Structure 1
Amino acid sequence: MPALRVPSGGSPVIGRPRADFPTPERPATERGPRAYVVHSLLQAKRLLTKWFRDPLTMIQTVIYPSVTLLMFSVVLGRSITGATGENAVYGQVPMIALVGSVFGALASGVSLKREAQTGLLTRFYVMPTHRASGLTGRLLAEAVRMVLTTLFIVLVGFAIGFRFDQGVLPAIAFFGLPLLLGTGFATFVTALAVMAPKLPLVELLSLVCTLLMFFNSGFVPTRAYPPWLQGFVANQPMSTAIESMRGLSAGGPVQGPLTQTAIWAVALTVVFAVPAVRGYRKAAMGRD
């Protein structure tokens, strides 16, 4: 016969005997710094697992940049090298690594819009998780994806003659440039995805990314462009990052282009961080 349990201040309740569980010394909370770190890492793991299983993300992140690099090398590599006197691969590998980071962020933005539309962000928002972990975990996952994309592009580049001629430390710093600029661009894409959910994100940003890809110093040297276009080409963010990566791999100026790249990355992050946070919160709360 089931035991008779009498809760304090209430009537007897028939049920199983209540087990005595130990009182936790440190009650878990979803607002502390430890929860923030743990939940951010879990969100990052969730996104990385999802992306690795998503054909669109893998195409945008790995296949498309690799095919583009091989195409440029086969079709234009010798012509550009012969016309400019500079080995084209040292411009093409940084350019395609940056393109992979940018287009991967675009695919991530599309995924974020889908999660907001299906209500997944709202489900995470009402769960006992740290409110900031969703956005932080997404940026962490983006950072891992950018580094892996750059590594894969460099491996393909080694097959067509790319080398690190400046030593180990510059080679390590080489991988930081796509991460630096890509983080700023990812913040920009996240802000657009959550602040303007009806915006044709893929069409608009694909056009912008394509223009940046063909009008930069990695495609051909800046001096090969018309004089009226050289100022834009030399100072747009992909060109400054490409020149930094070229200097870190083949040799050349690094400090100036690196400073410009850092300014672009910080500007994108600062300008779009607040809209990204507000838009993410709005999307997570299910508000149009």
Structure 2
Amino acid sequence: MSVVDTPAVPESSAPSAVVLDLPEVSARPESSPVAWAVHSWLQCKRLLMAWLRDPATTIQTIVYPALTLVMFWIVLDESISSFSGKPAVYGTVPMITLIAAMTGAVVSALAFKVDKATGLLGRFWTMPIHRAAGLTGRLLAEAIRVLATTLIVIAVGFCLGFRFDQGPLAALALIGIPILFGIGFAVFITAIATITEGPVLVQIVGLLTNLLLFFNSGFVLVQAYPTWLQSTVANQPMSCAIEAMKGLSYGGPVAEPLIDTLLWVGGVILVFGYPAVRGYRKAAETSG
């Protein structure tokens, strides 16, 4: 048997290795502040996209507040305006923005319960994601939702006679009040959602929302309530925020009601912040 010599392949014709120019990957620990910010924003985007695809959330965010404002304007505007001597829309617009912030937070809390029941919270908890990102991302999404609702309600209010008579800076401050109010209420409702089961959450918050809706200075003037109830109505959180928003739009006292609003929001976050964080952690660990 003859051995056939295989011709040597020239080095120039040999296949060269392919060098890929890949970007450098900077691995950050999941507990770093940068990871917290990035993961919170991703969680926020996830919630916003889910809400945009849900017709019930769209109705709750856009249709319901706008129709409620128009209904109040048709039914109560003339009687309240004649009684107070001021256009009633300067009270009803702030009131509807705050009510929308609260009712929207309830929808978010129900979605949180769904995430827990389906095990989604548990899956996120086992992934290399910052532990606080789930809660802070939810609060950030709430703030964006409240901002969108507030702008829509104000746009409808403009068609009914609402104006920013105190300038652009006052207008920006007015828009910020419902956002702060909504964040405080979202912390409260998250704490409640982690310790209640079934329809209890809706019943509790529905009762609270109805009480605040019919006993505040945006619905009618404080002087229209019985004397023994006026102090309670004037100092409840919605009335403080409404009076601050009135002052920032139509004119009037701003400092005192604004400080009272900040105290209310800060107090709610201080009291319910830890239960919300602890409850969220427990819900994530036992999810599924």
- Please give the TM-score of this superposition, normalised by the length of structure 2: 0.90
Over the residues paired in the alignment, what is the CA RMSD in angstroms? 1.8
Q: Secondary structure of 1:195's partner?
A: coil
Q: CA deviation at 1:60?
A: 2.0
Q: Mean alpha-carbon deviation: is it higher for 271-280 or for 188-197?
A: 188-197
Q: What per-residue deviation string (whole Å, max 9, x for no partner) do you get for residues 122-157 of structure 1?
A: 011111111110001001101111111100000000
Q: CA deviation at 1:29?
A: 2.7
Whose radius of gyration is greater, 1 or 2? 2
Match of 2:57 in 1: 57
- Please, which runs of 5 or more residues in structure 1 have no aligned partner? 1-18
Q: What per-residue deviation string (whole Å, max 9, x for no partner) do you get for residues 184-236 of structure 1?
A: 11000001111223461112201210110111000111001110110111000
**Distance in structure 2 (CA, Å) of the matches to 1:27 and 1:21:** 18
**Distance in structure 1 (CA, Å) of the matches to 2:155 and 2:60:** 17
Would you say the 8 A contact 1:195–1:276 is kept in 2?
Answer: no
**Distance in structure 1 (CA, Å) of the matches to 2:267 and 2:260:** 11
Q: CA deviation at 1:83?
A: 2.0
Match of 2:161 in 1: 161
Match of 2:75 in 1: 75
| Structure 2 CA distance for partners of 1:119 and 1:25, relative to 1, 3 Å | closer
**Distance in structure 2 (CA, Å) of the matches to 1:194 and 1:252:** 40
Q: Mean alpha-carbon deviation: is it higher for 26-35 or for 234-243?
A: 26-35
Match of 2:44 in 1: 44
**Distance in structure 1 (CA, Å) of the matches to 2:96 and 2:235:** 18
| Paired AA for residue 215 in structure 1 | F
- Please, which runs of 5 or more residues in structure 2 have no aligned partner? 1-18
| Structure 2 CA distance for partners of 1:256 and 1:44, relative to 1, 3 Å | same
**Distance in structure 2 (CA, Å) of the matches to 1:160 and 1:110:** 33
Match of 1:196 in 2: 196
Does structure 1 residue 249 correspond to structure 2 residue 249?
yes
Query: Percentage identity across aligned positions?
Result: 54
| Paired AA for residue 86 in structure 1 | K
Would you say the 8 A contact 2:122–2:287 is kept in 1?
Answer: no
| Paired AA for residue 218 in structure 1 | G
Q: CA deviation at 1:54?
A: 1.4
Counterpart mapping for 1:224-243 below 5 A = 224-243=224-243
Aligned length: 270
Would you say the 8 A contact 2:121–2:287 is kept in 1?
Answer: no
| Paired AA for residue 131 in structure 1 | R
| Paired AA for residue 168 in structure 2 | V
Q: Secondary structure of 1:131's partner?
A: coil
